[in-house]
Amino acid sequence: MSQGKDKMEVILNSLQFSFRKISHISIQIRVCYRENLRFQCAALNFKPKTNSTRI
C-alpha cells in the first residue's frame, strides 16, 4: 500500500497545471507531467456557447 501512495505522490508532484485565456470567449487548460526526461502535455479547450438572441 505504501508503494502505491509513494507512486501517486510522485505523479502528483510532477504534474503542472496552467490555464490561459486564449480570446474573450475561450479558455485553454494545459496539464503536463514529466516522465523520465520528457514532458507529456494535454490541452483542453473550452468555448462557451453563445446565444445571439437578445431580450
pLDDT in tens, 1-52: 455 555 555 555 655 555 565 555 666 777 777 777 677 777 777 776 666 5
What integer pLDDT is reported at residue 17 of this predicted model? 57
Which domain range does residue 17 map to?
2-46
**DSSP for residue 49:** -
Q: Answer yes or no: are the C-beta atoms of 50 and 25 closer than 8 Å.
A: yes
What integer pLDDT is reported at residue 44 of this predicted model? 76
Q: How far apart are alpha carbons 43 and 55 in whole angstroms?
A: 35
Grid cell for residue 15: 504534474
How do strand 15-23 and strand 38-46 relate by DSSP bridges? Answer: unpaired
The sign of the CA dihedral 13, 18, 32, 38 is negative
Residue 52 resides in a domain: no
Residue 7 resides in a domain: yes
Residue 19 resides in a domain: yes
Residue 38 resides in a domain: yes
Domain count for the chain: 1
Is 54 a residue whose pLDDT tops 60?
A: no
pTM over 0.75: no
What integer pLDDT is reported at residue 38 of this predicted model? 74
Residue 55 resides in a domain: no
